[in-house]
Chains A and B, each alone.
Chain A
Amino acid sequence: MSTVTPTRPAARPAPDRPPPARPNRAIRVSKWQIYVPLGLYLLFTLVPFYWMLVFAVRPRGSTSLLPWPVSLENFETVWNGLGFGVFFANSLKVGAAALVSTTVIALAGGYALARYRFRGRTAFMVAMLCTQFIPGAMMLIPLFEVFRTLELVNSLWSLVIAETVFQLPLSLILISGFIRNVPVELEEAAWVDGCSRLRGFLVVVLPMLRPGLVAVGSFAFIHSWNNFLFALMFVSEQEKYTIPVGLAFTLGEFSVDFGALAAGGVVAAVPVVLVFAIVQRYLVQGLSAGAVKG
């Protein structure tokens, strides 16, 4: 397997051709071929995070590029002064509600797709896939009108609904992939023991879906936590702002307070980076099992 980055073909040494009798050697790649490009890419990934962290924790007036000594004054400014404490709570509420509603609806629909043949099944699948091509930005105006009719403008429920609807198709398809991987014989054994279909599902299938549920739930949470445009459009009262809207407003000030901006950024980043660090292993598994392979 080659680890050559297409951007730097000149750095690649001529491939050695080992005797065919020892095929394993040919697959091995020398260490620096991995660590040099990986190190460069890590710099590109991590320096921006580091920059934000330094500006967030350094005391006012300091020009140091080391995150030491740590001062919390910027965090105090954004959390209490700029209202990030309230925004944080709002984002958490929306994220949790979107996570629950997406997962529950996707479980029901995913089970139907995985375990039943019914008329309209293919059409339903195709419709789900097609929704992946609907841009959220294009739905701003019509969704705003719908929420106005339902009197949900300026309510966090509008965000929960919009998030759920946009997350649902992918979640549903992913979950049905996971359910298909659970042998149906296990369920049948439970039915023989007299379990109802629902009970069989809860007792036998659900515990085996953990990686899938983690992947889908974290997708929904991260997506909802990050959404900016819907929150900007559907909510205009400041006490209902979510984190991205709050962050955008610190950016929009005439003289940007960079310390506050960085601290607000850290507040916005911590939950998603934590969730992501825990689930990224499941993510790759989940995608191999579900969406990409159909």
Chain B
Amino acid sequence: MGMTVGETNVRQHTRRRGSRTPYLLIAPAVLAMLAFLVYPMGSVVYYSLRHYNLSKPWEDGFAGLDNFARMLTEDPLFWQSLGFTARWVVVEVSLQLVLGLALALIVNETFVGRAFARAMVFSPWAVSGVLTTGIWVLLYNPTTGMSKYLADLGLMDYGGAPLANPDTVFLAAVVAELWRGVPFFAILLLADLQSIPRDLYEAASVDGASRLRRFYHVTLPHLKDAIILSTLLRAVWEFNNVDLLYTLTGGGPAHQTTTLPLYVASTAVQSQDFGYGSALTTAGFLILTFFSVAYLRLGKFGAKS
């Protein structure tokens, strides 16, 4: 009786509520995260309370809050890097959002060559921070860059190096990061734009709403959650983004473009002061958690408007 066997089979597969199967299935993921995310995060707090420098093995032991005291009172670079981090994140995320939204709206239209255009404008998304640096170093360098060729044509003066000049280094880094960052928003927002029912627009235009009004009253409300989530993810990502600045400016000139994680990375890689680096890391975690929660609360994420 094949039928009966089959039916019991289905029942066995679906009705076992206390089954161990789901736990076995998530076990590899849970174990990997416990060992390589949760445990290390806990150990950072432990190290932050110790003197621990790989290059000075004799300085070892419990430090209490020494590392934090040094950070808050004796280290101007901590405060400076914090200020620059805020500026970097706000400027990058807002410019990327505006340009990314515009780009998503454009490639959401129907036109000849759309698939090709999408592939082209999204492509810098796949490029690494180090490669972005390589490309923009070529473009910015006074001997190989665009300014040389424009000057050869007599269109402008032979310029200096934007990356070495304290007045232009911020702008130069912002543009390079925009080049790579805008496609992220364009891809995410395009995915969400495609889920807006077309009738909504038709209804709005029957009511005589102009394009701008349709954008404000149909498109934007629909995108709200996607915008809140993507800006938050991006803010964390830009906060965390060390590769580009590490290689493009090295945090300079004069630590002018050092973000907090870049400061952590150079403390870890160069001076190997793990105790102090861990204190900086702990501070970074706290700041990031605080802002993420505040942002989601203020943005009323998930609330229906």
> Once the chains bind, are A191 and B278 in contact (CB under 8 Å)?
no
B63 CB within 8 Å of chain A: no
Interface residues of B (CB under 8 A from A): 2-3, 5-7, 9-10, 13-14, 17, 19, 21-23, 25-26, 28-30, 32-33, 35-37, 39-41, 43-44, 47, 98-99, 101-103, 105-109, 111, 115, 117-131, 133-139, 141, 143-144, 146, 149, 179, 187-188, 190-192, 194-195, 201-202, 205-208, 210-212, 214-215, 219, 226, 229-230, 233, 236, 239-240, 242-243, 246-247, 261-262, 264-265, 268-269, 274, 277-278, 281, 284-285, 288-289, 292
Q: Which of A26, A44, A105, A165 contacts B179 (CB 8 A)?
A: A44
Q: Besides A141-B44, A142-B278, A258-B141, 18 other CB < 8 A contacts?
A: A2-B105, A5-B99, A5-B102, A6-B102, A23-B205, A41-B106, A48-B135, A48-B139, A141-B47, A142-B281, A161-B32, A165-B32, A191-B9, A228-B247, A233-B269, A272-B128, A276-B119, A281-B115
In the complex, the answer to whether B6 meets A191 with C-beta atoms within 8 Å is yes
Please give the residue numbers on chain A whose beta carbons come within 8 Å of chain B beta carbons, in ascending order.
1-7, 15, 17-18, 20, 23-24, 26-27, 29, 31, 34-35, 37-38, 41-42, 44-46, 48-49, 51-52, 55, 65, 105-106, 108-109, 111-113, 116-118, 121, 124, 127, 131-146, 161-162, 164-165, 168-169, 172, 188, 191-194, 197, 222, 225-229, 232-233, 244, 247-248, 250-251, 256, 258, 261-262, 264-265, 268-269, 272-273, 275-277, 280-281, 283-285, 287-288, 292-293
Could you say which residues of chain A place their CB within 8 Å of the CB of B47?
141-142, 145
A52 proximity list for chain B (CB < 8 A)? 134-135, 138
Within the complex, what minimum Cβ distance (angstroms) separates A35 from chain B? Answer: 7
| B120:A226 contact, CB within 8 angstroms | no
User: With A225-B128, A268-B131, A288-B194 known to touch, is A136 a contact of B240 (CB < 8 Å)?
Assistant: yes
- List A contacts of B30 (CB < 8 A): 124
- Whether A31 and B141, one on each chain, are in contact in the complex, defined by CB atoms closer than 8 angstroms, is no
The interface residues of chain A lying within 8 Å CB-to-CB of B135 are: 48-49, 51-52, 265
Contact A283 B187 (CB under 8 A): yes
Interface SS majority for chain A = helix
* Choice from A46, A51, A137 contacting B242 with Cβ under 8 Å: A137
Cβ–Cβ contact A228 & B129, under 8 A: yes
Contacts of A35 in B (CB 8 A): 111
Determine the main DSSP class of B at the interface with A.
Answer: helix
Given contacts A118-B23, A251-B134, A265-B135, contact A135 B29 (CB under 8 A): no
Closest chain A residue, CB of each to CB of B225: A292
What B residues does A136 contact at CB under 8 A? 240
Q: Which of A23, A261, A288 contacts B202 (CB 8 A)?
A: A23
- Chain A residues whose C-beta falls within 8 Å of the C-beta of B122 in the assembled complex: 276, 280, 283
B128 contacts A131, CB within 8 Å?
no
Q: Can you list 8 A-B pairs, Cβ within 8 angstroms, ordered by A?
A: A1-B215, A49-B135, A143-B36, A248-B247, A258-B138, A273-B123, A280-B118, A284-B194
Flag if B41 contacts A229 (CB, 8 Å): no
User: Which residue on chain B has the smallest CB distance to residue A146?
Assistant: B40
